[in-house]
Structure 1
Amino acid sequence: MTTDLFDSGAGSILIVDDTPENVEVLTALLQMEGYDVRGAISGQMALMGIEAEPPDVILLDIMMPDMNGYEVCQTLKENPKTQSIPVIFISALDDVFDKVKAFEVGGADYVSKPFQQAEVLARVKNQLTIALLQRKLRQKNALLKKQNQQLQEIIEERRELVSSLQAAEEKYRQMFEEAAIGIYQSSPEGVYFKVNDTLARIYGYADAQDWLADIEHHTQRPYVESSAWERFQQQVQSRGVVQNLVSKVYRVDDSITTICESARPVKSEDGQLLYYEGFVFELPTRN
């Protein structure tokens, strides 16, 4: 089984040579260094073995019957599954042309026969180190790609969430503005600071903006009788909410109308009263 600890002697190597004696010599040499070694005595056999279990490095002879080393290497480089496996050519062909062709078909290195054991070991270790670094780079790139994809998914989810929140806020705003009953938020002292158009019209204004512009009127409690505010607070203390509290209130023209309101206190996490929010409708005038 392939491992990433190439620098400690681990790593799988495939030797491809039609001369069994050459395979045996290289196998013994590399096994002494702790490598996992297997051999193949033909190009076709090598390709089948590589497809089933790709090695970390391939030592490949050039002069073989039926399918030479150049053809084997070229086939490997055309296959996405095997194209990253480094191939070290080992051949008695020592002509410059042969070496150039070896690199042209995708070879990573070249060792001439008869080879020196130290040279073979050094070139194998070098290719294993390069293969390890390339593998780690691919893994890192794959991880970064996955992280980028996850980040994009998070961004898209947040974008959809923001869009949903904006749609919900717009829907709430429309409901607030277009409600058939008056809606308000008031300070803990009972002074309205946010109202919808319906509530503003109950108090004789054209709309909420018109009322809020009248600083003198909207910054004081609208109740005609101070006892109404006391009854409001008593219900909050005894029930936790205000339900159907009937009160007389002043309109902008100093006329008086009767309202029925329900409200609830809104508190912070530590229990501090922040404001009241309530609903109001105007009761018909009795003749």
Structure 2
Amino acid sequence: MRKFFYLSFCFLFFISCQSLKHKDVIYGQSAQKKDLKLNIFVPSHSENKKLPVLIFVHGGNWNSGNKNTYGFFGRNFAKKDVVTVIPEYTLSPEANVNEMTMEIAAAIKWVQQNIDKYHGDKTQIFVTGHSAGGQLVGSAVLNPKFGIPYHTISGIILNDAAGIDMKYYLERNPPKNQNDYVKTWSKDPQKWYEASPIYFLTEHSPPFLIYVGSNTYPSIKTANKRFLKKLHEFQPEVQPVMINKSHIPMILQYFWPWSKRFTETTNFIKKPAR
């Protein structure tokens, strides 16, 4: 057993050497006037090539999480020749969901304007989010008020996304102070609508790749089922990739460089533009 852990450590150390990390790059300021930062992971052999870009937004029920926890995600995608960006955002109760989404939109715009300095191709920008991160990237890209033109995002990857139809959920489960939901979502149904990506799907929406855990929370299963039904009006070819996992393991699987998710995602990224 000790030998196994030693070999695993050596392997992961070798993997980490195959990428370069640019830590705490400032991309903007929060409504509270605090610097907002992101981490960028670049393949160490990128040289003069322009590589596709993946922006990952973490989950945590909108009130927890830290970009620095997900270095494994950035390193492993960089190993697959994908420049990976992981932004932070202000959590509830310090910020509400609209402010969080504005920050994620600002991070996307920063990437569009600056990623060429890190060997990224600004014409191949993909976004992905797990749990609450799925709602944030979905809203930032799909809701026009956040100012991200559809054609500037090449694809959206949702990983066991929560909150993608929060209006439907909160109408049946009104927000309480528990989990800071009143602060996060307010008690205004119009704001629930504006924060729910499902209501902003159109024929112009970027292509989707959608993962759902077969053992995830019932509310996430319901929201993804509703989302897919609406999405099929515009992208009937999209089928969810069901994974035999619960909610947290849906992101932990990216810790292992040999996970099938890397092959599936890079294949999605390499598909010709729709």
Q: Same fold (TM over 0.5)?
A: no
Larger Rg: 1
TM-score between the two structures when normalised by the length of structure 2:
0.33
**Greater RCO (Cα-Cα under 8 Å, separation 6 or more):** 2
